[in-house]
């Protein structure tokens, strides 16, 4: 049993208008020190023991579906035996 945490974020070269709007909102709340905000997605995947190559599979699904490589980067963490 594996729990996989996947983070998908816009590439650095891509403008993030949503993040920009949140940054401006924080600034108007008085948090002048928040220089930049980037908004992304967080996903949790639960793998059962039938999946042999968990890391390989995670990479594959990230590239095929969970992220769009044209505009997004992804990273992941794999935790063993996480399900209670």
Partner 1 sequence: MKFAVIVFPGSNCDVDMYHAVKDELGEQVDLVWHDADNLDEYDGILLPGGFSYGDYLRSGAIAHMSKVMAAVKKAAEAGKPVLGVCNGFQILLESGLLPGAMLRNKNLKFICRTVELSVENNETMFTSLYKKGEKISIPVAHGEGNYYCDEATLAKLQENNQIAFTYASDVNGSLSDIAGITNEKGNVLGMMPHPERAVDELLGSADGLKLFQSIVKHWRDSHVVNA
Site for partner 1 in 17-76 (CB under 8 A): 17-18, 21, 41, 65-66, 68, 70-71
φ/ψ (deg, to 5) at 8:
-115, 125
At its nearest, how many Å lie between partner 1 and the CB of residue 43? 9
Q: Which residues contact 29 (CB under 8 A, 6 or more apart)?
A: none
Query: In this chain, which stretch among 16-24, 44-52, 54-62, 76-84 interacts with partner 1, using CB under 8 A?
Result: 16-24
How many whole angstroms separate alpha carbon 56 and alpha carbon 62? 10
φ/ψ (deg, to 5) at 37:
-130, 130
Residues engaged in binding partner 1 (CB under 8 A): 10, 13-15, 17-18, 21, 41, 65-66, 68, 70-71
């Amino acid at each position: 049993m594996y729990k996989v945490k996947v983070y998908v974020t816009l590439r650095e070269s891509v403008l993030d208008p949503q993040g920009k709007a949140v940054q401006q909102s924080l600034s108007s709340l008085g948090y002048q020190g928040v220089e930049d905000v980037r908004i992304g997605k967080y996903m949790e995947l639960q793998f059962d023991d039938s999946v042999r190559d968990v890391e390989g599979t995670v990479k594959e699904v990230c590239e095929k579906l969970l992220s769009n490589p044209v505009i997004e980067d992804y990273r992941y963490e794999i935790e063993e035996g996480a399900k209670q």
